[in-house]
Structure formats: structure tokens, C-alpha cells
Amino acid sequence: MPLPPDLHVHTEWSWDAPRGDMERSCERALEIGLPAIAFTEHADWALVHAGQHPVDLAGYLEAVERCRARFKSLRILTGVELGEPHWFPKETAELLAAGQLDRVHGSIHCIRIAGEMLDASQFRDRAGLNFPAAVREYFRETLAMVDSGQPFETLAHLDYPKRYWVAGAAPYREEDFEAEIRAILVAAARTGRALEVNTTRGDVLCPGPTVVRWWREVGGQAVQFGSDAHQPDKVAAGFATAAQVVEAAGFKPSPDPTSQWRR
């Protein structure tokens, strides 16, 4: 089975990737025989971390052009990962009007709790937080994003809070949130989105096999793969396993190597 394209990679143009390196990520992609790579930098306006800032799109696009000139045998796609675009429709529209982008992901990282924005990675540091309720709120916010009409094509890391599960809480089970997750999948299928299987740099599939099966059941048409690498050696990490899971759920590689897998 061919390796799928890695359509979710961060470089030095993302605020949280100090070890990111676009040129070395291209070299790595060629080394492991990847057909294509998309650099989807963070476009965040919910500023909850020190040093967080949206992407410098012009500088980023110049860097992509330099890589395209240097690595002619690799298909290099442009992109962004929009954080909470439905909270920032004006900023989103301005960013997307400022340059041509091949791939646009929609992501929820933050929810609002008692009027304050909080990233799911911060849940475990918040004393007294009702964790299951916060995860439900995360899924409610994801549904709101999918239903908002914001112009993104891929639903990224659907169950992101799973990466930062609180010690001592009951383990994550998709079935405990089945109604919430299925509602999101139905909305994503209805609006023609692709479901991303994010390998979390080889650590954990977001989402896992159960949700990918639900995606097919509700009529989802396309799946795409992302490593969420923030440094070159993590490009396509975990893709062999992810490809098996997606194939077993009933999706097939596209003849176009830059493309999603389809049912």
C-alpha cells in the first residue's frame, strides 16, 4: 500500500514549532517516499498561550515557493490550520483572501469555560474543572464550528482532548461520547468535509478505528491523513498503521497522490 500524503505538517512558520524546518521536512518526505506534503501552519486568534500569534502568510508562502523550486520531485501543498474559525469569521476571511491555499483545516483547540478561553491541553491544570463536562463542551464547540459555514474542508483531530487526558479520570472511550461524535460526523458529511485521521506524530490516532467506521456509516466520503508533525523527523509518523485502519473502514487510496482517500 502506498503511503498517503501527509496533509497536516507544521514548520518554523507555526508559533509552537521551534524545531520546525520546512526544508528539512521536504528532505524527510523524499527520504521516506512520501508522494506529497502539505504545510498547514497555525492560524490562531484565540490567544491562550505565551508567544502565540497567527501565521505570517506572505513570509510562509515565499518559503513554500523556495522549497518547490528546490525539491521538484515532491508535491508541496500550501495550507493553514484554522483554530476556532467560527469565533473569528473576519480574521478567517481576511487570511484566506490574502493568499491561495491548497488545504484548509478546521480545528478546535479551545473552549470557553465561565467566559474564559481554555485550550484542552490546559484542562488538567485547572483545579476543580469538571473534566467530562469540558470534553462534552469541546464536542459541542466542534459541532458549532462544522455548522458555522466557515470555509474549511477538513475536520482536524476530532477528539483532540484525548491527547491530554486527565490523570485519574476514567479512560477515554468513544462510546461514552457517541451521540456527540456522531452528530459532528453527520454535520461534516452533510457539508462535504473530509475527516482527518491525525496520527499525533505517531503517538495516538485522533480519531481511532471506531470513529472512522462511524464516519463511513453516516455517509462520510473522504478521509485524509495528517501527522501533525512539528519537526522534520515526525513527518508521516504512524502512517502505516493509520493507512491500515482507514482501509479496513472501507476507504481507498486515490489515483491522485496528493488527494484524500475515498469510499
Residues within window 80-99 making contact with Zn ion, judged by CB under 5 A = 81
Of 67-75, 103-111, 161-169, 189-197: span binding Zn ion (CB under 5 A): 103-111
Could you tell me which residues come within 8 angstroms of residue 263 by beta carbon, excluding any fewer than 6 positions away?
216, 220, 221, 222, 250, 251, 252
107 binds Zn ion (CB under 5 A): yes
Distances (CA, A) of 83 to 46, 95, 108, 138, 156: 7, 12, 6, 13, 10
Piece of the chain touching Zn ion by CB under 5 A; list 15-23, 92-100, 124-132, 223-231 = 223-231
Closest approach of Zn ion to the CB of residue 251, in Å: 21
Short-list 205, 181, 188, 206, CA closest to 152: 188
Question: Which of the stretches 114-122, 129-137, 144-152, 227-235 binds Zn ion when contact is defined by CB under 5 A?
Answer: 227-235
x/- letters, 64..83, toward Zn ion (CB under 5 A) = -----------------x--
Quote the least distance from Cβ 167 to Zn ion, whole Å.
22
Q: How far is the CB of 69 from Zn ion (least distance, A)?
A: 26
3-state secondary structure of 39: strand
In the complex, least distance from residue 122 CB atom to Zn ion, rounded to whole angstroms: 14
Shortest Å, Cβ 186 to Zn ion: 22
Residues 6+ apart with CB under 8 A from 239: 3, 4, 6, 199, 225, 227
Q: Of 119 and 137, which has the nearer Cβ to Zn ion?
A: 119
Q: Which of 228, 238, 249, 260 binds Zn ion (CB under 5 A)?
A: 228
Sequence-separated (6 or more) residues with CB below 8 Å from residue 72: none
In the complex with Zn ion, which residue's Cβ is closer, 75 or 157? 157
* Nearer of residues 137 and 196 to Zn ion, judged by Cβ: 196
Q: Which is nearer to Zn ion, 25 or 216 (CB)?
A: 25
Name the residue among 67, 43, 66 with its Cα closest to residue 56: 43
| Closer residue to Zn ion (CB): 174 or 228 | 228
Residue 104 C-beta: closest distance to Zn ion, Å: 12
Q: Could you tell me how many residues of this chain bind Zn ion (CB under 5 A)?
A: 3
Mode of pairing for the β-strands spanning 116-119 and 110-113 = antiparallel
When the beta carbons of 76 and 216 are compared against Zn ion, the nearer one is 76
| Beta-bridge mates of residue 252 | 262
100, 60 Cβ separation under 8 angstroms: no
Q: 216 vs 237, which CB is nearer to Zn ion?
A: 237
Q: How far is the CB of 81 from Zn ion (least distance, A)?
A: 5
Long-range contact list for 120-125, CB < 8 A, 24+ apart?
120/160, 120/161, 120/163, 120/164, 121/163, 121/164, 122/48, 123/161, 123/164, 123/166, 124/164, 124/165, 124/166, 124/167
Binding site for Zn ion (CB under 5 A): 81, 107, 228
